[in-house]
Amino acid sequence: MNRVKKNGVNKRLRTRHEQSRALRALVPLLALAIAGCTTLKRWAYEGFNRDEWQKPEEVIRALRIQPGQVFADLGSGSGYFTFRLARAVGPGGKVYAADVDEGMNQYITAQARERGLTNIDVILAKRDDPLLPPAGVHMIFSTNTYHFLENRTAYFANASKYLRPGGRVVIIDFSSRQWFDIFGAHYTPGDVIKSEMKKAGYTLQQEFEFLPRQHFLVFSKNPT
């Protein structure tokens, strides 16, 4: 009888210990929730080991950026490429970080100030228009954003008005299904991107193949 009672007590203690351990595991998540969703959004934008598969320095080198150029980082998110582009164009250049997420825009503004990058301007874009300045840009750069756009052909046909003569549009997007596609498709087949951009009035200029998970396509605007 005592043994049965003792076993029951031990079982309850184990259950309470497991519950306590589970609650302790939730503490970091609760802390993030209390602090707001900015950290979680950054994690969603930047993913796991992004530097390994995104190869950001190789991407920057491939674009052959010139000091003083003006770029738009379309769907800038947490600024993963915004800050790198800003350093590449130098203090005489400019990078417009355009995103529909006001929280992430505020994060980029704060980070640019903290990092001493005075050549970044943040734009709260519309879902159908990046609202870039009339003076235009040398390059519209977009990474992992293309699949989010609803009417991509119309979007980029309209965005062409922001390109300076000889300007380029760079599209980097996932090439196959990702682990987080349980929340919806987060990739675009390469032939779909090329077809839609052709309809929008662009010609494929370059295609790089060193990114293991993504298409890396560079387009130029067709002369009118």
| CATH number of 178's domain | 3.40.50.150
**Residue 216 DSSP code:** E
Asked if the structure places residue 64 within a domain, the reply is yes
Residue with tokens 């989010």: 148
Q: Which residue has the tokens 């390059």?
A: 139
- Count the alpha carbons within 13 Å of 2 in the hemisphere toward its beta carbon: 0
User: In terms of domains, do 101 and 129 share one?
Assistant: yes
Rounded to the nearest 5°, which phi and psi values hold at 118? -90, 0
Tokens encoding 83: 């800050």
- Let me know if residue 100 belongs to a domain: yes
Together in a domain, 125 and 196: yes
Do 103 and 198 sit in the same domain of this protein?
yes
Give pTM, 2 decimals: 0.78
As a whole number of angstroms, the distance between CA 160 and CA 223 comes to 11
The reply to whether 57 and 29 lie within a common domain is: no
Q: Which residues have C-beta within 8 Å of that of residue 157, sequence separation ≥ 6?
A: 199, 200, 201
Residues of the domain holding 22: 2-35
- State whether 117 and 24 are in the same domain: no
Within a domain: 40 = no
Same domain, 125 and 99: yes
Q: Among 162, 147, 151, which residue's Cα sits nearest to residue 72? A: 162
Provide the phi-psi class of 208: left if phi over 0, else alpha when psi is between -120 and 50, else beta. Answer: beta
**What is the secondary structure of 144-185 as a DSSP string?**
S-GGG-SSHHHHHHHHGGGEEEEEEEEEEEE-S--GGGGGS-
CA distances from 43 to 94, 132, 215 (A): 26, 27, 22
Residue 118 lies in a domain: yes
Which class for 5: exposed (0-12), middle (13-18), buried (19 or more C-beta within 10 A)? exposed
Q: Are residues 56 and 21 located together in one domain of the fold? A: no
In a domain, 41, yes or no: no
**Quick one: 210 and 150 in the same domain?**
yes
User: Is 181 contained in some domain?
Assistant: yes
Instruction: Tell whether 11 and 71 lie within a shared domain.
Output: no
My answer on whether 23 and 72 are in the same domain is: no
Structural contact between residues 130 and 162, judged by C-beta atoms closer than 8 angstroms: yes
Same domain, residue pair 146 and 187: yes
pLDDT of 18: 57
Q: Please give the pLDDT value at position 14.
A: 55
pLDDT digits (tens), the chain, 224 positions: 555 555 555 555 455 555 555 545 544 543 444 445 555 555 455 555 889 999 999 999 999 999 999 999 999 999 999 999 999 999 999 999 999 999 999 999 999 999 999 999 999 999 999 999 999 999 999 999 999 999 999 999 999 999 999 999 999 999 875 544 444 457 799 999 999 999 999 999 999 999 999 999 999 999 87
Q: Look at the chain and report how many structural domains it folds into.
A: 2
